[in-house]
Structure 1
Amino acid sequence: MTGSVPPDSPPPPRLRLRPETPEGWVRLHLAGRPLLARLARTLAALPVDLTPAERTARQREASGALLGHLGVRLDVGGLEHARGGPFVVVALHESLLDVPVLLTLPLRLRFAARDEIFTWPLVGPAVTRLGHLSITPERGAAAYRHLLRAGRAVLAGGESLGLFPQGSVLGLETDFQRGAFTLARHLRAPLLPVVLTGGHRIWEHPFAPTLRYGQRVGLRVLPPVPVAEVLAVLPDILRARVQREMKRAALSGDLPPPRRYDPERDGYWDGYRFDIDPAFPELRGQIEARRLHLSGETG
């Protein structure tokens, strides 16, 4: 596999789910698919003028039903750090299941998500009605200005804004982008780091349709970075420090193993915007060498 669909390509016509066991097939088709359809229709039909409290309640109900159906075993720690806010929440990202897991936090949360997700069957109408923020990273500064305006309104309403600074679900090795840290600075908001691991074991989309029930997922909330520190430390320095702390926690052995990026298995995603964390120099060098080769700068 030498690459995957670039970000400006149309989304797949459907999201594939292939249970790993015969019992999983029965569970999915008898209960799972009807549940997903019912939840999506219910969320898409909600009033357009939801209050933050109403949005939080409806999201938590749906997320709880989904995680319950999947038999997810949550290993949660650090919830004492998730009090107060509102925050700019920065979370590790390895699965589409990360959002339902984050919605178990004692926060009112809205998320910024890539625009293509808003076009997906079932999922798109639901996240649109819930007021999550659509972003198009390829628009550069215009996308950032849009996120800044929308994020300011989210925080003003008492909700926290959830962001995934890796920008992809490739794996732990992907580098944090600076946008979330610059945004927190401009919004004068505290940062809340959240470590998530194990979600990729439930559903491996977009790498494979494999679906697994009864998996353990780890969630650790780290101490927040207060506003004074967000304003005093340059975004790139803060980004590197928070990334290092979050990934150290992910690899500590206390949580389920995180997803690791293997380009020979997962594809090189040529044309897709991502970088490799300098903490993983061998993989970083491999990706950079490939890009140089494709650009014709090396033999």
Structure 2
Amino acid sequence: MAIASYKGGVGKTTLASVIASIFSERFNRKVLIIDVDPQSNITEVFIPPREFEKLINISKSHGKVFSLEWIAGAGEPLIYSVTNNLSILPSKPEYIGLAKFLMVPLERIQGLRKDLENKMNMYDYIIFDLPPQMYGLIGPLIKVVDILVTPVTKTSFALSALYYLIRDIRGSPPHENPPFIGAILTRFRKNEAMAIEMYRRRIKRIVEEAYQSLAMKWEFSDILTPTFNSVFYAHPKLADIRALPMDKNDNVRMIRLVRGLLKYSPQILSFVEPLAKELEYRINIALSRK
């Protein structure tokens, strides 16, 4: 599954973080996060700074590589176990300086699919946290996954990003992959019912126009709405997820250390659980139609 948008700042990393946490903690699913963003935001969410330094040393001594090197076919992936059910293939900040040179060869896409099928088949879900379009990695990598989800915020540019994302993904082969299963409204507040309904209508129109421009019809129009029923509402605690790495003395963040063990914030998981249930429902529908 890819959580992607051409626009930055729409909540991709925060959304990926909480979805992975709920799937692993509440739903007892085995989850692997693959951090493909050179900014390494989701890596910082789940890996404390001291642990990250250890991973750098392990990478050097054991010949393991971080996410973008593995994607380029440069070695075996370094996978960090966060909990029994949640693991991450981390990115690293030094990729920022290399981002404009990073390309995924077309012949590597098939190799990535085989790696995911053969080496990572013990996971129920693999979540790609992709960078904004500026890095040029979205198109090739989305074609590796089975499901596409995109967050949309209260900006017209986010709607334009949705339109062009669908156009680009559906317009390049293989045209059937990955199936788009809906947009998730993010950073709305519960008292913004009118704005939420307006954006639902706009997204429906945008999705229809994007598919019509390719002489296609959205394949789930008979059973799903283009926008998730559940909204990823603004929440004061969610603002800390990207900004701060976990800390054993902090009770606010989504994930923290308690007596040496990682614990999730039950308030945040309960807050987002309805969205995670709908996501799994939509995923199952998409996979059943393949």
Coarse TM-score class (shorter-chain normalised): 0.3 to 0.5
- When normalised by structure 2's length, the TM-score is 0.32
By relative contact order (CA 8 Å, sep 6+), the higher-ranking structure is: 1
- When normalised by structure 1's length, the TM-score is 0.32
